[in-house]
Chain A
Amino acid sequence: MDLILKIWRQKNKEAKGELKTYEVKGVSPDSSFLEMLDVLNDDLVNKGDEPVAFDHDCREGICGMCSLYINGEAHGPDRAITTCQLHMRKFKDGDTIYIEPWRAAAFPVVKDLVVDRSAFDRIMAAGGFVSVNTSGNTQDANALPIPKDDADKAFDAATCIGCGACVASCKNASAMLFVSAKVSQLALLPQGRVEAERRAIHMVEQMDHEGFGNCTNTGACEVECPKGISLENIARLNREYLSAAIKAE
């Protein structure tokens, strides 16, 4: 396959960026999108040009490191996958493909297609945990039976990979899906229930502080989420937050 790529290039956080045009030839339809970019970068290095910077690591859809806004969609045209799992067979020979970084005030561009998502880490540090120390003497794991449905729902919420596609897809750049996934996972489990409301308050405060936008329930985040995190979690977060806010007054 031969392709035209329009790629966002930006030297660093302060620099002004622009879309630049590149051609890649002879791409295998069986290669992944990132392998296609590898081919481009190898060409650029061989020509003495600077390769395109993009985040990636596991290349099997679980680490959450890869991003990319491809033809106006987070993680590209396929569903329920990350960019590293997107394969070139989803495109046609001769296509022009636009590749941009995540766009959100809370995710400043580091270079080219790489953004800074450390805001997510700070939200997690504000409350995304159960307050338990490492102990060789915690109670036996089976001392606390958990209904399978609750455990399964908690698991589904816990599969969030923290990639930020929800923020990138949202017209308000809201991080509600990300925050609600962690709040839900821990609120659904008895271990996390104890501090569920406190957690919701702290994580939401940090989210607002980081400059993420508000949720207006358009649901774009759920559509683009590579792990299919459900909007139901946002409803649960709102419930926890409201209940905590009322009690606090």
Chain B
Amino acid sequence: MTNLDAKIPEGPIAEKWTNHKNKINVVNPANKRAIDVIVVGTGLAGGSAAASLAELGYNVKAFCFQDSPRRAHSIAAQGGINAAKNYQNDGDSTYRLFYDTVKGGDYRSREANVYRLAEVSANIIDQCVAQGVPFARDYGGLLDNRSFGGVLVSRTFYAKGQTGQQLLLGAYSAMSRQIGKGKIKMYNRHEMLDLVKIDGKARGIIARDLVTGQIERHSAHAVVICSGGYGNVFFLSTNAMGSNATAAWKIHKKGAFFANPCYTQIHPTCIPRSGEHQSKLTLMSESLRNDGRIWVPKHLKDVEAIRSGKMKPTQLKEEDRDYYLERRYPAFGNLVPRDVASRAAKERCDAGFGVNATGEAVYLDFSAAFMRYGKEKANVEGIENASEAEIRKLGQGVIEAKYGNLFQMYEKIVDQNPYETPMMIYPAVHYTMGGVWVDYNLMTTVPGCYCLGEANFSDHGANRLGASALMQGLADGYFVLPYTIGDYLANDIRTGPISIDSPEFLEAEKEVKDRLSKLINNKGVHSVDYFHKKLGKVMWDKVGMARNEKGLKEAITEIREIREQFWKEVRVPGSLNEFNQELEKAERVGDFLELGELFAMDALQRTESCGGHFREESMTEEGEALRDDKNFAFVAAWEYKGDPKDAVLHKEALEFKDIELKQRSYK
């Protein structure tokens, strides 16, 4: 085990980034025109990076598997984006955002990176507004804020429940401008299937044109991976159907260490699953917890009555309801961080208080908010002696303006009107904090290969706070990589164009072709989804919200068996040289089957609980996650050695110089 060097700059934390920027190398504008950069993925991180690099003068080649860069899954982010603007005058600051993020991540993130994230957060809002992103505003014409879980200030900027969409379309418009100029060459419907290294450096990728099936070689002086998280290893998650770990996993197999794969976020407010046909789960924004109160019945007899349809939830008396988050965490109430809220829901449902047929649902109730907003509105509009029904109606209007699209989405899926009956929610896999290990410059352990956004591991520790994913994606792409990549590329100004006919390219291409041929010629008996679902079940049951040694060991064996069976028995119809969606899935699931094993191995070695990683062997008397700072204050970075089981663990020690390590408390 080596101790990894994260290349964190010296000096006080508040000055590190400025000093670093002042000292690193810069490539002059004329030389930038002779340098190519490949960006894989066009979400917030990839889109913002591609646009910014092209603006600087680099020749960018951008790749996405969707039919347009505008469709990356960042688009589905709902609630908002954090920034330490302190517009609300409620005591926010760079330091407070930094502190909240490190604490929220249960002290398992890298201080220097998080401070930089907080530092550039305000620039992101300025930049997005300049691009024409229509954030919510109040009547004075200034930007509005809302609050999110795990913090005590209002620092979240939003655009109704579609913040991710608006931010992504902002980045997409910046990209479009560069595509129009010819500075970005866009490759839609392309999937990266391998990284090409020459003399140890990342020099290109092998990609498949998903329409024609052609395998293509693309060279560049640097490769930037922004391919998102690996939540779909669980089969059911809030990720898009196409979200995959393939690009990240391929670079891992070519030498990039993979960090903390066991850190997964299970989001507390998702629509419960309805049956076997389910293909994905849908998130209800955490912002709903600002106004919704979470509860289950206090008594099991009422649970029974509700499940059998004898009683409606609205009929249950106030004193017979258990607002368990408010009960257990009076200081933060319904706004505890996601990991805490998810475990609390699981605890109640495991105890038999789940309110739907599957026993896996709790209520998210807006009736108190209807009345509160309704009264305010009646006062503003000067309506005297408004009846309770009138007040409720006024309040529903206010809620509709805030979350209308979310309520509509819920009604379409569940077929119940959430204005009349409380929503039902249950936790679901949503985000992966783990990912490719990167240093302070966002470079992986492969020189010239960078990793941004959810695909890397760096900023959220063991649990991500709400509205921080959008912040990180855009910080990495707009404000970090454009500086740090110059430091590396400054040594490449004399390299010139890189040939795609070198033995390294040809060999990588052959490997890809062989693997795809193997899949298509397998003539097995089961569809790809059959294996994906099997893997997902093992992951959810044994590597999900609560983990223990026995389950994890079983999971490792079972995943290995599913993987072996997959390569023997998978059936991929069609041919290589055509549009073939089953082949795309097969390649992705093949990688998930390896990643899943490493995920379970990582969860097994980390015998402490922290953030989203909950080991049943390590909890406080009250059932909260119990960290072991003495033995586990490190980043676990895994090196690939030919098979997941042979992966070698490297450690990056986490030093906390500016924040005192404490047991997290939201009570």
Chain A interface residues (CB < 8 Å from chain B): 11-12, 27-28, 30-32, 34-36, 38-39, 42, 44-46, 48-51, 53, 55-65, 78, 80-81, 85, 87, 89, 110-111, 114, 116-118, 120-121, 124-136, 138-142, 144-148, 151-152, 154-155, 158-159, 161-162, 185-186, 189, 191-192
Contacts and interface: CB of A to CB of B under 8 A. Distances in A.
A146 B482 contact: no
A63 B71 contact: yes
Nearest to B73: A58
B179 A121 contact: yes
11 contacts: A30-B275, A60-B282, A111-B578, A114-B579, A120-B68, A121-B176, A121-B186, A125-B180, A133-B55, A134-B55, A136-B120
Contact of A129 (B68, B174, B242, B277): B174
Given A64-B68, A117-B67, 7 more contacts: A28-B274, A46-B527, A58-B241, A59-B280, A118-B188, A134-B127, A154-B132
A51 to B, nearest CB: 6
Contact of B87 (A11, A56, A142): A142
Given A81-B412, A134-B52, A158-B169, A141 B126 contact: yes
Nearest to A116: B67
Interface stretch (B136-144, B491-499, B509-517): B136-144
Contacts of B174: 129, 132, 134
Contact of B275 (A31, A53, A125): A31
Contacts of A60: 76, 280, 282-283, 409
A134 B48 contact: yes
B185 to A, nearest CB: 12
Query: Chain B interface: which size bin?
Result: 35 or more
B52 A141 contact: no
A124 B173 contact: yes
A61 B409 contact: yes
Contact of B66 (A57, A128, A145): A57
Contacts of A30: 274-275, 277, 415
B551 interface: no
A48 B141 contact: no
Contacts of B613: none
Given A85-B409, A118-B67, A45 B277 contact: no
B143 A141 contact: yes
B662 to A, nearest CB: 33
Name A's interface SS: loop
Nearest to A78: B412
B278 interface: yes
Contact of A28 (B137, B277, B412): B277
Contacts of A32: 279, 413
A110 B211 CA distance: 7
B413 A121 contact: no
A161 B166 CA distance: 10
A29 to B, nearest CB: 9
Contact of A148 (B70, B85, B139, B177): B139
Interface centre among B51, B67, B142, B186 (most CB of A within 10 A): B67
B75 A142 contact: no
Interface stretch (B157-165, B315-323, B463-471): B157-165
Nearest to B83: A141
Contacts of A11: 578
Nearest to B169: A158
B482 A117 contact: no
Interface centre among A35, A63, A81, A142 (most CB of B within 10 A): A63
Given A56-B241, A124-B176, A142-B142, A35 B134 contact: no
B173 A130 contact: yes
A192 B132 contact: yes
A65 B67 contact: yes
B277 A39 contact: yes
Given A61-B409, A134-B174, A50 B240 contact: no
B108 interface: no
B573 A50 contact: yes
Nearest to B127: A138
Contacts of B300: none
Contacts of A127: 180
Ranked 3 nearest A-B pairs via Cβ: A145-B141, A129-B173, A125-B180
Nearest to B477: A134
A146 B133 CA distance: 12
A132 B71 contact: no
Contact of B240 (A57, A129, A147): A57
Contact of A130 (B130, B138, B408): B130
A141 B573 contact: no
Contacts of B143: 141-142
Contacts of A87: 412-413, 415
Contacts of B482: 134
A85 B412 contact: yes
B594 interface: no
B126 A151 contact: no
A129 B131 contact: yes
B91 interface: no
A227 B64 CA distance: 24
A130 B131 contact: yes
B141 A63 contact: no
A141 B125 contact: yes
A120 B173 CA distance: 12
B136 to A, nearest CB: 8
A63 B573 contact: no
A129 B73 CA distance: 21
Interface centre among B137, B282, B415 (most CB of A within 10 A): B137
A97 B174 CA distance: 41
B25 interface: no
Nearest to B182: A125
Given A125-B180, A129-B173, A134-B48, A45 B132 contact: no
A134 B138 contact: no
Contacts of B55: 133-134
A65 B71 CA distance: 7
Contact of B132 (A53, A64, A116, A186): A186
A38 B447 CA distance: 42
